[in-house]
Structure 1
């Protein structure tokens, strides 16, 4: 599937039927969700970092992250978009080259610095995103993560302002991570691009988030965390007494 075809999946005629992207972390998890019938997958940087033995927040070496993405892509027949945090300090052209080499159809790029827990300057970040778009052309779907609800003032106004800059830079999707569900209608009204919402296991559903304005729903690292918790239970059950 091309990036254009993947982007077309974000156009949902029925609001309560958003594009659901389970976040996977290795070939086994990717095949499980693809075999279950999901039409596309996303990776989670925190989940991949966990199984590689690293902390989330760009502690994972870029070579390891892109290699993991490549293994996931090769294991399934559905498109995969990659969470690559803030790009690991790579130049835009190299980011694009590595994503395409891994076989990804898109990526998440965040606008904060995890180490300092601070937002990037929005104008400079928009310029950088424009360089990524120029290098990618129409070969990747760019999902711009807006971290105002993570490290900013948690307001719709500042989120929409940042989103406008990133849209002008050429991104395809806006991801206001951790935005409260009750603010999604206002965010969707102010952001003229598909909106990615984070789905919390056991507390909300993709259908609910879609009805509120999300065109795309993902789970972050929660699926891997649930899997790890289940594995811990199994380990305790079979552990020697």
Structure 2
């Protein structure tokens, strides 16, 4: 799939009958009538930035629609929300990797932002071919932060994408919180780990210099890797993903990590619970008495 295709075709795994033939079919959704005021967006952006700089690690349980956002936002421990592109794409029948039309992704994150008073950071993949415009549209529906992947593109191109996003945010008058992602660990191949860490640090420093608030280094980050990243990029400047086998959030906090999120894993947990509940019901069981009722 081309990284610069904004409205790619749905994946072969998606239900063709449920997917419109053109992204224009989704453009009838316009949340601007109920969009938070510029002052509210500005305040939420400042709140999100402060949470990244706070001594306590920012823990973000990723959501993918209004229902999941409402359940997570209702918890007093929740300080902000983050979306997961993989989970949103899956919920619409698309594979991950910018296969979902950008207009549909903006609709999804806009509905989430509209459903809560908390700051929302959106996973905007690589920017759908136009990172600045994609972020401008995201800000327009109330999003105040984002992940942006480098996909290990040439260094100068990746840095320019970060700079483009920050220019777009500045033009909108919002101190946008960019969590610039580098795939140096995920795509290291046969390279030694320390060489991949050095690459992540070099790229991360350039992203921070271009205006990013934080550098997201996905992968299984152990103590050695976390320590090296914090040493190279600074305390409260590194973001990690929680996956099976990751360190506990408290340990990452002790090492100086700013943020931990969980990508598509919360959706996978929910779907696992759904499947297990279905099996129990098929076997003659009953719904648990503790089942939450959404209002």
Q: Same fold (TM over 0.5)?
A: yes
The answer to whether 1:9 aligns with 2:51 is yes
Which among 141, 152, 161 is matched to residue 177 of structure 2? 141
Which among 199, 205, 224 is matched to residue 158 of structure 1? 199
Residues 136, 6 of structure 1: CA spacing in aligned structure 2 closer, same or farther, 3 A cutoff?
Answer: same
Per the TM alignment, residue 179 of structure 1 is displaced from its structure 2 partner at its CA by: 4.7
Is the CA contact 2:82–2:122 (under 8 Å) kept in the aligned structure 1? yes
The answer to whether 1:28 aligns with 2:67 is yes
Is the CA contact 1:110–1:144 (under 8 Å) kept in the aligned structure 2? yes
Q: Deviations over 1:20-67 (max 9, x none)?
A: 111101111111111112010100001111111111111111111110
The answer to whether 1:189 aligns with 2:231 is yes
Counterpart Cα distance in 2 of 1:162 and 1:100 = 25
Structure ranking higher in strand proportion: 1
Per the TM alignment, residue 91 of structure 1 is displaced from its structure 2 partner at its CA by: 5.0
Give the structure 2 partner of residue 115 of structure 1: none
The answer to whether 1:82 aligns with 2:82 is no
Structure 1: tracts of 5 or more residues without a match? 113-118
Counterpart Cα distance in 1 of 2:111 and 2:44 = 18
Q: Deviations over 1:70-94 (max 9, x none)?
A: 11111112111000100111251x1
The answer to whether 1:206 aligns with 2:249 is yes
Q: Deviations over 1:163-182 (max 9, x none)?
A: 11112211111001115222
Counterpart Cα distance in 1 of 2:154 and 2:97 = 18
Give the structure 2 partner of residue 238 of structure 1: 281
**TM-score when scaled to structure 2?**
0.74
Give the structure 1 partner of residue 160 of structure 2: 127
For CA contacts below 8 A with separation 6 or more, give which structure has more relative contact order: 1
Counterpart Cα distance in 2 of 1:31 and 1:194 = 28
State the SS of the aligned residue for 2:185: helix
Residues 80, 91 of structure 1: CA spacing in aligned structure 2 closer, same or farther, 3 A cutoff?
Answer: closer
Counterpart Cα distance in 1 of 2:95 and 2:70 = 24
Is the CA contact 1:201–1:222 (under 8 Å) kept in the aligned structure 2? no
Counterpart Cα distance in 2 of 1:170 and 1:219 = 24
Per the TM alignment, residue 132 of structure 1 is displaced from its structure 2 partner at its CA by: 1.3
Q: Deviations over 1:213-235 (max 9, x none)?
A: 21111111100011011111122
CA RMSD, Structure 1 to Structure 2 (Å): 1.8
**TM-score when scaled to structure 1?**
0.90
What is the total number of aligned residue pairs between the two structures? 231
Is the CA contact 1:181–1:212 (under 8 Å) kept in the aligned structure 2? no
Residues 57, 170 of structure 1: CA spacing in aligned structure 2 closer, same or farther, 3 A cutoff?
Answer: same
The answer to whether 1:225 aligns with 2:268 is yes
